[in-house]
A and B are shown apart, each in its own frame.
Chain A
């Protein structure tokens, strides 16, 4: 055994060293995000154009979180396709998915392999449709939406947003003006999307939510097995999104991206409101304020009461959390929302980190926390868990807020991990975690305070049963 190994984990990376390797990534690859977005569209099968392994690995990763069957088809490219191109396998795969699943839409995402060999997927799809769509079979042809999602560019969130944009680009048609509101919620949990839908209904708003994973990734058990789970955004709804009075797009760090919301705006889809995810009190207030304007009515009493109970709980719980130091990581927009919430309740976020690197993380966090925090937190985009450990090691956090992959840090530092976001691979019910709205804030608050209380009990030499 090499004697140096024992101490090696403590060696710091020189600050000036060029970034060359990733240890324990705090991000996932682009096509995974695309598959998740496609999964939120009604009667749709996600399809990865690449090696079989990509589809299988992503399926197992997603399945472990959602505990749902997740069929992602693959063109299963082999060596000869890598040399001669994957057109034939793509077409055969599409044909097979058509015949066995009978989808209305197939969402085709590329991988690093097919991007690099230069497969022209839109052209292949066009050929496929011409080859198979003739002779009166047009009606049986599913729509095919393609998205370019090379895994060497961006993270799963870029893949997610690009897939949503591709859906609108392909499907949204000029439509008559309606009173409905488009909502592009980004990547929330099924529980988040369900709650968002509930709020919209309570406001009397007709909302088109894209994508809608509330049922497709959290479905009921049924008497018969559904090849494609029910739910998801109906295609007919996507078609008329350009007629909506307004578009709400969640994402505080999407500024410089060519988003679905921006595309809809150019297609006549009403006013675009790009807002942060409604996490915590103030971001949710802002969101409800928008809904009041759009619906032309005050917030329904049910939600006023939820807000009131949340404020009541903030007061009841403030002593337990004030001054605690937290490390927050995950997808950039989620980190912005969580940081805002933590700052509101008196927790000091000492490090806000993401594997994503939009360049807007700092700006977005500053915007939501500047008046709440005496000292701004460290904010780092494009990092891995090695970096997070290096940064946070000296910051002495009291708790960690993020997905399951930070567990080893929580274990090493003997502090609680409040599990949020994706993936939750080491707890049950990760897909039912509610992050959004007053109700989500309430649940996050309860979980954070209880984790702090549990830690207090564990660490205490006295067995306090009354805290």
Chain B
């Protein structure tokens, strides 16, 4: 059997300390390599989906809508329209004669039925090929029904998830600036790149509230169309999942002069630093004082609880393979806080800059990988004798079949991992996995003893 690494992909894998840093990335996935990546449609769906009072209509055959039906844990405090899966369910005749009429009728039918605040229409691969005039139909329905109907140019083949993020940001940007900014506090911000998985955005909003800041729009977790329309009234954009929403932050900076800062809510260090950075921006002593108070209160309750986990987990080895690279930075630090060593870290869509930063914060011998696949991941996990692997649902069986622990840190998780409390949940999950007795019964372990 051939080694796990494809020769074409050799330059997308780096071993820290063993060679000078160089990393190819942002390439099309290698055909036949079983990439863990999805597509443009997936990228835009991930970002826009949590807008809970909008209609999300997938224009295409049934699969694209079926596979994205309510699979993510993006919670809403009110309407839940986002949890339904709408599709034009294109059939052979639509492909031949065009799907515009069907799209029009579907939009009218669904808007009349659900009365959304806005509608997003996602184009899929096939729509790009048959050339339906999405823009034209959306404009027509928007005029007739009196609500924003926004095309999302997300044909799956037009790049990877990253291109989908961009399409989503452009779609959101069409809403921004169309509402009134009256009454918005000068001490206000938008939360970008948080999708309210397991209610995480509520944890973060609570911190900002305690700091004395007003959150104008959640973008997009627990999102509302009306908030997005007035988001240009905020004083600051706070960007977490930067891969997904940095484009929007940049567009808003350019058009409305709103500055942005990059943050991360994962792990104690990054969470605290993020709040301080936001406080520093407002240059108001009261805010900084309150921020210190928030961090202090949270840490006082958190640290003693973390100690138990740290004691048990010290010296264990972790591997990380996630969608966006920015999250990986925080995870490396979070594992360090638990006394654990990260021996593999990778992402589906990282940039060279991201990987360079990962190289700087990881230990010698750590493998850094871009757009990996099951064969590589299994070979790395085996080589590094990993105790726990952090990834998403597609990575889980790869770990389990190897007899390696696993922690879901993706859109489908049901445990909040953001915020100070999130670090505790994370530590608990890592502990519960690593310390499980089941691993000692597995053939791989017995064979190696």
CB neighbours (8 Å) of B69 from chain A are: 24-25, 405
A90 to B1, CA, bound (A): 22
- Asked if A257 is an interface residue, CB under 8 A from chain B, the answer is no
A256 to B240, CA, bound (A): 54
Whether B87 pairs with A25 at a CB distance below 8 angstroms is yes
Interface size on B, residues (CB 8 A): 85
Q: Would you call A51 an interface residue if the criterion is a C-beta within 8 Å of the partner chain's C-beta atoms? A: yes
A75 touching B31 by the CB < 8 A rule? yes
B32 and A97 form a contact (CB under 8 A): yes
Interface-forming stretch among A76-84, A266-274, A288-296, A368-376? A76-84
1/0 per residue, CB under 8 A from B, across A316-350: the answer is: 00000000000000000000000000000000000
Nearest CB to that of B410 among chain A residues? A60
Would you give the shortest CB distance from A390 to chain B, in whole angstroms? Answer: 11
Q: How far is the CB of A381 from chain B (nearest CB, A)?
A: 14
Chain A residues, Cβ within 8 Å of B174: none
Report if A111 contacts B (CB, 8 A). yes
Which residues of B lie under 8 Å from residue A79 when comparing CB positions? 157-159
Q: Which residues from chain A contact B68 at a C-beta distance below 8 Å?
A: 57
Assuming the contacts A25-B65, A94-B32, A116-B129, asked whether A69 and B374 have C-beta atoms less than 8 A apart, the reply is yes
Tell me if B67 and A57 are in contact (CB < 8 A): yes
Q: Which residues of B contact A18 (CB under 8 A)?
A: 105
**Complex interface residues of chain B between 47 and 67 (CB less than 8 A to chain A):** 53, 57, 60-67
Closest to A53 in B: B39
B375 close to chain A: CB less than 8 A? yes
Q: Which of B31, B130, B442 has the most CB of A within 10 A?
A: B31
Report the Cα distance A227→B398, complex, angstroms. Answer: 10
Cβ contact within 8 Å between B402 and A225? yes
Chain A residues with Cβ under 8 A from B392's Cβ?
A: 60
Complexed CA–CA distance, A129 and B161 (Å)? 33
Contacts of B117 in A (CB 8 A): 2
User: Are A68 and B401 CB-contacts (below 8 A) given A29-B62, A78-B159?
Assistant: yes
> Which one of B34, B38, B42 has the highest number of Cβ atoms from chain A below 10 Å of its Cβ?
B34
A25/B156 in contact, CB under 8 A: no
| With A21-B105, A21-B106, A28-B62: A221-B129 Cβ-Cβ less than 8 Å | no
A201 at the interface (CB under 8 A from B): no
From 61 to 76 in chain A, residues with beta carbon under 8 angstroms from any chain B beta carbon are: 61, 63-64, 67-76
Complex: A97 Cα to B443 Cα, angstroms: 28
Residues on A facing B (Cβ under 8 Å): 1-2, 4-5, 8-9, 11, 13, 17-18, 20-25, 27-29, 31-32, 47, 50-61, 63-64, 67-79, 81-82, 89-90, 92-97, 99-102, 111-113, 116-117, 150-153, 155, 219, 221-225, 227, 355, 405
* B-to-A contact residues, CB < 8 Å: 1-2, 4, 6, 28-42, 53, 57, 60-69, 78-79, 81, 84-92, 94-95, 102, 105-106, 109-110, 113-117, 124-126, 128-130, 156-160, 374-375, 378, 382, 392-394, 396-398, 400-403, 442-444, 446-447
What are some 15 contacts across the A-B interface (CB < 8 A)?
Answer: A5-B81, A9-B114, A11-B113, A21-B57, A22-B87, A25-B62, A29-B63, A52-B38, A56-B35, A97-B32, A100-B32, A116-B130, A155-B62, A221-B401, A227-B1
Starting from the known contacts A25-B85, A53-B40, 16 additional A-B residue pairs (CB-CB under 8 Å) come to A20-B106, A28-B62, A53-B156, A57-B63, A60-B393, A69-B397, A73-B34, A74-B32, A76-B30, A96-B30, A96-B33, A100-B375, A116-B126, A116-B129, A221-B401, A225-B401
